[in-house]
Amino acid sequence: MSDNVVGTDTPPFADIVNGALEFTIPAAHRMGVKALEVRPGFAATSVPAEGNGNHFGVIYAGVLFTVAEILGGAIAVASFDNSAYYPLVKDLQIFFRKPAKTDVRAEATLSEDEIARITEEAAANGKSDFTLKSVVTDTNGVVVAETVGLYQLRAHGK
């Protein structure tokens, strides 16, 4: 089952994000960041622990930041018209909760009402700011980090 409407020839949104990562954000691709599930209003990403450790045996803080920050672009791919708009991050705060010793998963959501607001505002003004909160968990479901990001959907050419 794909992330998209059944019967279309469009690749699932997660495949689009994964295909683009190597070229748009090579550092994230080298870390092994992957989109697991991407659909309008929802994105989940992961990154392996292997190869991403630090000097005391847990996942490096920058890797946790990256797996969460990528969600802003991933959710935009599925939620907005990519031929007219692109996302950018304006600010992101991360709150480290526990050391991560296993692979991690990051998730974020946008409500239908918020997607509609962003779409309408971007159409009227050429851009729209939105806040995206994420939760990063280890394979045992323990919250290892949380983020609050300020993103912007911006019209091409603006």
> What's the CATH number where 75 sits?
3.10.129.10
Specify if 138 maps to a domain: yes
104-109 and 127-138 strand pairing: antiparallel
pLDDT at residue 92, rounded to an integer:
97
**Ranges of residues in the chain whose predicted pLDDT is under 50:** 1-8
Specify if 134 maps to a domain: yes
Q: What is the DSSP letter of 11?
A: P
pLDDT at residue 13, rounded to an integer:
94
Q: How far is CA 114 from CA 109, 131, 146, 147, in A?
A: 10, 10, 20, 18
Q: How many domains does the chain have?
A: 1
Give the integer Cα–Cα distance in Å for 116 and 118: 6
pLDDT at residue 157, rounded to an integer:
82
Contacts of 36 (CB under 8 A, 6+ apart): 14, 44, 45, 46, 105
pLDDT at residue 6, rounded to an integer:
43
Specify if 141 maps to a domain: yes
pLDDT at residue 7, rounded to an integer:
42
Specify if 8 maps to a domain: no
pLDDT at residue 152, rounded to an integer:
98
